[in-house]
Amino acid sequence: MGLLEQLKKLISGPTPDAQEQAEFDRANNFDTWAGQRSAAAEKQRPLVFDVNETPEVVQYPDHILQALDFIKKPYIEGFVAKPMADPSATNLKQMAFGYGLTVDPRTGKPVGPKTPPISKEDAELGAINHLQKLDAQLNTRLTSDLSPFQRAALLSKLYNRGPAFLKSDAIQHLNIGNIEEAAKVLESYKFGRNKKGELVEMPGLVRRANEEAELIRKPWVPLDEPQIGAPGLKNNIQQGLDKLLYLPPNTNSDMKPGGRRG
């Protein structure tokens, strides 16, 4: 054994056998929800790894992080530690906590009055995992490439409305490139039930629907692609060139493009 290996052994201590490692993992919940808490705030989930190995990190796609940041806004889903009635649900008895979670990610059981409060870390990790499942469902309905903003908007609405949204005309419009029509469909999702069970327009849902529609319309410029091909940007570049090359009427011959004298 070399000097480096001896130093590693002195620092890390004796390597546990398989039984000791299993007991340690169970005691620290490494194979359950609690073992993922520390990295939830960083939007990265470390996998279980040996003390002498480099940890593997899960990187989430841009549209998942965009959707997460969107639903975490206080006026969208916001964070609530204790279970409360979901005002936008069609079922008035439905309860939610965390970031609009109706299922406790720690147990897999529906959220109810007796469900213990949830931490922000667990709520965020629960939201990420739920968004990933919704994204897999959304992929079965998409037939065209969408920007991360557009996918985030669809995920937000799917997060809010459930599987029924997979049949929405908004998805069909985006599949054929009708961006404005898709945005208008999202803007129509502004109704919820009040305490009397009546379907009414709700200010919170109106604001959410409008911001989701803005995401649908928002141009996206991929950093790894030539920006001249981005929607709306080519026109801006052309307008800039037009201004640069424009010569006002009756200018002297010694004027250069843009009105500068030689």
Mean pLDDT, the chain, whole residue set: 75
In a shared domain, residues 211 and 231: no
In a shared domain, residues 109 and 209: yes
204 falls within a domain = yes
2 falls within a domain = no
pLDDT band at 94 (very low <50, low <70, confident <90, very high): confident
pLDDT for 58-90, tens place per residue? 689 999 999 999 999 999 999 999 999 876 555
In a shared domain, residues 24 and 106: no
Structure confidence at residue 57 (pLDDT): 59
In a shared domain, residues 69 and 164: yes
- Give how many domains the chain has, as a whole number: 3
7 falls within a domain = no
In a shared domain, residues 245 and 118: no
209 falls within a domain = yes
11 falls within a domain = no
* pLDDT over 60 at 231, yes or no: no
pLDDT band at 195 (very low <50, low <70, confident <90, very high): confident
Mean pLDDT of 188-202: 86
* pLDDT over 80 at 30, yes or no: no
**CATH code at position 118:** 1.10.530.40
236 falls within a domain = yes
Instruction: Report pTM.
Output: 0.63
- Ranking 20-24, 137-141, 241-245 by mean pLDDT, the lowest is 241-245
Q: Where is pLDDT greater, at 225 or 97?
A: 97
Structure confidence at residue 222 (pLDDT): 63
Domain that holds residue 23: 16-58
1 falls within a domain = no
Structure confidence at residue 192 (pLDDT): 82
pLDDT for 119-156, tens place per residue? 999 999 999 999 999 999 999 999 999 999 999 999 99
In a shared domain, residues 92 and 198: yes
Mean pLDDT of 111-119: 96
In a shared domain, residues 112 and 187: yes
In a shared domain, residues 153 and 244: no
In a shared domain, residues 181 and 212: yes
In a shared domain, residues 20 and 68: no
In a shared domain, residues 163 and 44: no
**One-character DSSP codes across the chain:** --HHHHHHHHHH-SPP-HHHHHHHHHHTTTTSGGGGGGGGGGT-EEPP--TTSPPPEEPPPHHHHHHHHHHTSTTTT--EEEEEE-TT-SSTT-EEEETTBSB-TTT-PBP-TTPPP--HHHHHHHHHHHHHHHHHHHHTT--S---HHHHHHHHHHHHHH-GGGGG-HHHHHHHTT-HHHHHHHHHT--EEE-TTS-EEE-HHHHHHHHHHHHHHH-----TTS-GGGSTTHHHHHHHHHHHHH---TT--TTEETTTEE-
pLDDT over 90, % of the chain = 52
In a shared domain, residues 231 and 253: yes
8 falls within a domain = no
